[in-house]
Amino acid sequence: MAKPKHDYDNEYFYKRIEGLAMNGYTDEEIANELNLSADVFGAMKNGNYQGWNDEENKRRGSEVYRVLAHGRTKIVALLRGAYIKGAFGGKKTKSKVVKFVQDKCECMGQDKKCPYCGGTGWITLTDKAVVQESEILTIKMQD
C-alpha cells in the first residue's frame, strides 16, 4: 500500500482545510492545495474513501465536513454583509465646505479702484476660514 500524502489524524491537516475554506476556496481548490484529486477529497469529506476503514471514514469524514462548514461560515457572513449593503445601494459621500470670513474694507466701497476690496467694500479674510465636513449615507431603495 502507498504511503498516505498526509497524516489524517493530525490537527494541522484539519486546520489547513478550515483555513482554505475560510479564504473562500471550493472543495476542488482545497483538494488541489492538498495535492489530492477532487474525487478523493470528496470521498474523504463524505466518509466513503476506499483507503480508510469504516471507523476512519466515519471519524475523519465527519471532521473534514465539520471544518469545511466552520471555515465557510466566516466567508459567507462577510459576503452576505457586502451583498446586503450593495443591494440597498448604500454609499457614503463625503463633502467639505470651506467658508471664508469677510470684513468691511476701510474704503467702505467708496473707492472703486481699492487694491484690497476692488470696490466691493468687503475683504475676504483667508486666514480665518471655517471648514465644514460632512458624511452622508445614501440608500437607494429598490422598487
Give the pLDDT of the chain (143 residues) as one tens digit per residue.
Answer: 567 788 888 899 999 999 999 998 999 999 999 999 999 999 999 999 998 999 999 999 999 999 999 999 988 888 888 777 766 666 667 888 877 778 888 888 888 888 888 888 888 777 777 777 887 766 665 54
Rounded to 5 degrees, φ, ψ at 104 are: -75, 140
Distance CA 72, CA 54 (A): 27
What residues form DSSP beta bridges with 138?
91
**Where do the domains of the chain lie?**
11-87, 91-138
Rounded Cα–Cα distance for residues 83 and 77 (Å): 10
Inter-axis angle of helices 38-46 and 54-87, nearest 10: 100
Residue 7 is classified by DSSP as -
Query: What nine digits make up the cell of 80?
Result: 452576505
